[in-house]
Chain A
Amino acid sequence: MARYVVNRLVQAIMLLVIVSAIGFAILHLAPGGPLSQFAASAQMTQEDLDRVTRQLGLDRPLPVQYLDWFGRMVRGDWGRSYRDGEAVLSVISSHLGATLELMATATIIAVLLGCWIGVLGALRRYSLFDTLATVGAMIALSIPTFWFGLVTIYVFSVKLGWLPAGNRQTVGDGSFLDLLHHLIAPALVLALVETAMWGRFMRSSMLEVINQDYIRTARAKGMPEWRILSVHALRNALLPMITVAGLQFPTLLGGALVAETVFTWPGMGRLFLDSIGYRDYPVVMGILMFSATMVLIGSLLADILYAVVDPRIRVG
């Protein structure tokens, strides 16, 4: 097992190096730069822009810039944002809480609701509920998150006035109830797609399990149905979901990016989008490395957990 974990760790580190090199190259080779936003300023001249470019070290050859950045990164110095001069790690951490709050809430909603819909759909295969759940999931997966977010705001904020039209909290309030009030709409919007995915995966997994011989045997032995489902079927059906959970991070992050924009949620997704727009290289690279690390950790944990519960994986 230890050898398996070490192997996977080495692979993950190599992947991170590759991601950093490719990410850095793509970002810097893309046209434009961090100073282009000042081009419309009546006061800044080309000479000023050239001077600031030199001061930021952006006139050096790309490999030199990469090696400099990489060397500092492995020593824990992720650089400073070009926009506000803050340390990149500090910039990321200041946005991380909001995103985790949103993603965690959406995940809890999605897992609970999705698993329930999936299990019930599998048990009542081709029933009205199953059909509605299937159609609902297809619709949920097809609806653009941006559009759904705007509709949610229109209905629940503009028309009904039940929920705030965005933001994480009322400035100067910050009570738990206020936070919760602001969290409802973006979390539900983000959870929509996740719920559909969890529901579909759970349904398939459950169907596979309840058709197994050991379930039939348990029924033949006269075991109560609730016990068959909760102890034998559900536990085994949840096993593949470990992988699903591990690989959900990138999807969730992508959804959060849109939800954060629509609901003016001050999270990582929006920070990423803003930083790309401004060509804030240090922050974009920081988020890229952070996200890649999270995805790899998620995947690694899923693999290890799977290997723990299913020894065949380790052998394979």
Chain B
Amino acid sequence: MADDTGRFGVGAVHLGIPSRRQFFQLGAGAAAGWSLAGNAFAQSERPTNPPDKPRGQVVAALSQEPTVFHPLMPGIEVDQGVWWQVFSLLWFIDPAGNFVPDLAREVPTIENGGLSADGLTWKIKLRSDVKWHDGTPFTAEDVKFSLELINNPDFRARSRVGHSLVKDIKVVAPDEIHWRMEAPYSPYMSILGSLTFIVPKHILGKVSDPNASPFHNAPVGTGPFRWGERVPGDHILLNAHAGYHGKGPYVERVVFKYIPDLTVLYTQFRTGQVDYTGLQGILPNFVQEAKTLKGRKVVVSSTSSVEHIAPNLEFGPFADRAVREALYLAINKQAIIDALYYGLPTQTESFVPQQAWSFQQGLPQHKYDPAKANALLDAAGWVRGTSGVREKGGVKLEFANSTTSGSAVREQTQQLLIQDWRAIGAAMRVNNMPAAVIWGDFWQQSKFNSVIVGVNFMLGSDPDVTPRFGSGAIPAKGGRGYNTYQYQSAEADRLLADGAKQFEIAQRKTTYGDLQKLIRNDLAILPLFQGFIAEGVKEGLQGFRPNINTSINCWNIREWYWA
């Protein structure tokens, strides 16, 4: 796959496979184990003869409207679809998991002198042939400005995780920048390579309010496409950037079409009004039909999201591990996958995607075994009451399960769970809410009993899950993070602390492997399956490559062209 991104130079080729020792060599290929179901498709669809000049346009349909165009502010996946076209990163993570240099000339490693042995000093060499869309040359000052902007207290930055450790930024030359880290933090390589897009100092350095300026609605970047127009509620049009520093783009225009209803989105793909169905793709119930459409292709690929049942571990019955195990055993996972998701996703036991280098093989496999579940509860002292619901010490084995209302397949999943769990004397009731409600305080402050949710636990391609499972990351207890499960484990904390400062891949693999075993053993979450997305691509459109390391598969429209 390395040569597929060869336009970024030799770095892409050489960084394909991580070497043995240093993490930051791994950094260059941190997720070297990534591979995709969709890659087979991608290989056969790779550009063979892209046009000499950009030709034609691509209409990409999205079910949510991109509205945030400043790439360092809080945004959602659809916004990233635009960021990837307009802006550039220092390096990005390709589908195979390699860090590929973009604005940087090479990915810093200890071997090439880009990183000190203790991981505290970073020296980045930058390309000198890059220009902003308005013709201004890109320099190290832009990188310095971007990192400082993130840490500016007045700026509404998305996140400062990792960035807050960056100190003493020095522009050594227009094409070289150095900085020091307050503490070693290995996931920072991935953070820089996933969503830390570089913004222009010559424009944003002059605005009085960093949170509101004309740039926010007409961004200027160094990416393959220039801002064209936005018709709110309808579409965003981007034009090819002729002076792009990489290969491509091969189409003249990209139109992001906003179609909120997934049935309507699919219909427009069917009638040929859109060329590609991006987030949230094609509904599972349409996938089989979509595969039979003439002139259309359907690509089903894995995502980093793990669909799971999130128990609130501080809630009565769920505090008992035996209950969690019994509930897990009583779930007929395969029935859910086959009947409701048309067999498209695959079961998983970990919070790490199965394609990741850090994925731990050989975790205990889930088995649907209601008899064992019943026996487990009997042994743990959960006795069936007259109503058939078990109880222990005055605590009944009954609880609510919540998910986003209107999410039809998850609502059907809940119906199957009710039946599965009733068989072992557990009473579940449904308490669904709109997205804006459930993912607010209800979720963040752990006010739920249990929730069905899909979460991408990875930081780019890094398995550091401190914000999700660290004891200090429980918001309901004043922590900084997203440990809404309220999972607390001294052993997990130790492993997380170790992993974040380890440099050797083998060491990290062991550490995060142990963490996965621990989480699986504790059943901090009840994993159902690894997320997937079914996307439609019009025949003749070349270059589509699903990338599990990005949140949106239209990350590389610069490589797309019409055959």
State yes or no: do A and B come from one complex: yes
**A-B pairs, 7 with minimum CB distance:** A266-B233, A266-B234, A32-B436, A32-B440, A36-B440, A32-B437, A46-B475
Which residues in A have their C-beta under 8 angstroms from that of B479?
46
B467 touches A45 (CB 8 A): yes
Contacts beyond the supplied A43-B159, A45-B481: 5 A-B pairs with Cβ under 8 Å: A31-B442, A36-B439, A46-B473, A150-B263, A279-B436
Interface flags, B252-278, vs A, CB<8A=1, else 0: 010101111101100110110100000
What is the number of contacts between chain A and chain B, taking CB atoms within 8 Å? Answer: 192
A213 lies within 8 A of chain B by Cβ: no
A264 touches B459 (CB 8 A): no
B433 lies within 8 A of chain A by Cβ: yes
Minimal beta-carbon separation of A1 from chain B (angstroms): 42
Q: How far is the CA of A218 from the CA of B263 in the complex (A)?
A: 58
Which residues in A have their C-beta under 8 angstroms from that of B159?
41, 43-45, 48
Which residues in B have their C-beta under 8 angstroms from that of A48?
74, 157-161
B68 touches A84 (CB 8 A): yes
Listed stretches A118-126, A133-141, A157-165, A194-202; interface member? A157-165
A39 touches B233 (CB 8 A): no
Known: A36-B440, A264-B258. A165 touches B268 (CB 8 A): yes
Known: A153-B264, A166-B259. A85 touches B270 (CB 8 A): no
Which residues in B have their C-beta under 8 angstroms from that of A246?
none
Known: A45-B480, A48-B160, A274-B260. A40 touches B467 (CB 8 A): no
A262 touches B261 (CB 8 A): yes
B443 touches A84 (CB 8 A): no
B237 lies within 8 A of chain A by Cβ: yes
B65 touches A52 (CB 8 A): no
Listed stretches A91-99, A109-117, A286-294; interface member? A91-99
A95 touches B59 (CB 8 A): no
Q: Which chain A residues in 24-57 approach chain B with CB under 8 Å?
A: 30-49, 52, 55-56
Q: Which chain B residues in 460-479 approach chain A with CB under 8 Å?
A: 467, 473, 475, 479
A282 lies within 8 A of chain B by Cβ: no
A261 touches B260 (CB 8 A): yes
Which residues in B have their C-beta under 8 angstroms from that of A32?
433-442
Q: Give the one of A32, A161, A264 with max B CB within 10 A.
A: A264
A171 lies within 8 A of chain B by Cβ: yes
A39 touches B156 (CB 8 A): no
Q: How far is the CA of A19 from the CA of B260 in the complex (A)?
A: 29
Listed stretches B101-109, B210-218, B331-339; interface member? B210-218
Minimal beta-carbon separation of A6 from chain B (angstroms): 38
Q: Give the one of B69, B440, B467 with max A CB within 10 A.
A: B440
A65 lies within 8 A of chain B by Cβ: no
A43 touches B441 (CB 8 A): no
A and B contact pairs by CB, cutoff 8 A, 18 listed: A30-B436, A32-B437, A36-B436, A44-B158, A46-B481, A48-B160, A49-B444, A84-B69, A94-B232, A95-B233, A158-B271, A171-B57, A264-B260, A266-B234, A270-B260, A273-B260, A277-B435, A277-B436
Which residues in A have their C-beta under 8 angstroms from that of B75?
38
Give which listed residue, B154, B234, B467, contacts A168 with CB less than 8 A. Answer: B234
Interface size of A by Cβ–Cβ distance < 8 Å? 60
B455 lies within 8 A of chain A by Cβ: yes
B270 touches A158 (CB 8 A): yes
Minimal beta-carbon separation of A62 from chain B (angstroms): 15
Which residues in B have their C-beta under 8 angstroms from that of A39?
439-440, 443-444, 482
Give which listed residue, B216, B437, B481, contacts A36 with CB less than 8 A. Answer: B437
Interface flags, A268-283, vs B, CB<8A=1, else 0: 0011011011110000
Q: How far is the CA of A37 from the CA of B438 in the complex (A)?
A: 10
B195 touches A43 (CB 8 A): yes
Give which listed residue, B68, B160, B268, B454, contacts A166 with CB less than 8 A. Answer: B268
Q: Which chain B residues in 212-246 approach chain A with CB under 8 Å?
A: 212, 216-217, 231-235, 237
Which residues in B have their C-beta under 8 angstroms from that of A225?
none
**Chain A, Cβ-Cβ closest to B213:** A85
B263 touches A45 (CB 8 A): no
Q: How far is the CA of A223 from the CA of B263 in the complex (A)?
A: 58
A83 touches B68 (CB 8 A): yes
Give which listed residue, A31, A33, A46, A84, contacts B67 with CB less than 8 A. Answer: A84
Known: A166-B264, A271-B233. A43 touches B217 (CB 8 A): no
Q: How far is the CA of A167 from the CA of B233 in the complex (A)?
A: 10
Which residues in A have their C-beta under 8 angstroms from that of B191?
43
Q: How far is the CA of A270 from the CA of B232 in the complex (A)?
A: 11
Q: How far is the CA of A55 from the CA of B195 in the complex (A)?
A: 22
Q: Which chain A residues in 135-158 approach chain B with CB under 8 Å?
A: 150, 153-154, 157-158
B232 touches A91 (CB 8 A): yes
Interface flags, B419-443, vs A, CB<8A=1, else 0: 0000000000000011111111111
Give which listed residue, A42, A80, A278, contacts B212 with CB less than 8 A. Answer: A80
Minimal beta-carbon separation of B82 from chain A (angstroms): 11
Q: How far is the CA of A137 from the CA of B270 in the complex (A)?
A: 33
A77 lies within 8 A of chain B by Cβ: no
B76 lies within 8 A of chain A by Cβ: yes
A264 touches B264 (CB 8 A): yes
Minimal beta-carbon separation of A292 from chain B (angstroms): 21
Which residues in A have their C-beta under 8 angstroms from that of B507?
none
Q: Which chain B residues in 479-501 approach chain A with CB under 8 Å?
A: 479-482
B8 lies within 8 A of chain A by Cβ: no
**Chain A, Cβ-Cβ closest to B473:** A45
B273 touches A166 (CB 8 A): yes
A86 lies within 8 A of chain B by Cβ: yes
Minimal beta-carbon separation of A50 from chain B (angstroms): 9
Known: A32-B438, A98-B233, A158-B271. A45 touches B74 (CB 8 A): no
Minimal beta-carbon separation of A69 from chain B (angstroms): 17
Q: How far is the CA of A261 from the CA of B160 in the complex (A)?
A: 37
Which residues in B have their C-beta under 8 angstroms from that of A42?
455-459, 467
Which residues in A have their C-beta under 8 angstroms from that of B439?
32, 36-37, 39-40
A167 touches B481 (CB 8 A): no
A267 lies within 8 A of chain B by Cβ: yes
Which residues in A have their C-beta under 8 angstroms from that of B161?
43, 45, 48
B467 touches A165 (CB 8 A): no
Which residues in A have their C-beta under 8 angstroms from that of B457?
42
B216 touches A84 (CB 8 A): yes
Which residues in A have their C-beta under 8 angstroms from that of B217?
84-86
Q: How far is the CA of A277 from the CA of B163 in the complex (A)?
A: 31
A171 touches B267 (CB 8 A): no
Which residues in A have their C-beta under 8 angstroms from that of B473?
45-46
Minimal beta-carbon separation of A101 from chain B (angstroms): 13
Give which listed residue, B76, B158, B273, contacts A165 with CB less than 8 A. Answer: B273
Q: How far is the CA of A38 from the CA of B211 in the complex (A)?
A: 17
A52 touches B440 (CB 8 A): no
**Chain A, Cβ-Cβ closest to B195:** A43
Q: How far is the CA of A166 from the CA of B267 in the complex (A)?
A: 9
B444 touches A164 (CB 8 A): no
Known: A44-B74, A45-B481, A150-B263. A274 touches B433 (CB 8 A): no
**Chain A, Cβ-Cβ closest to B61:** A264
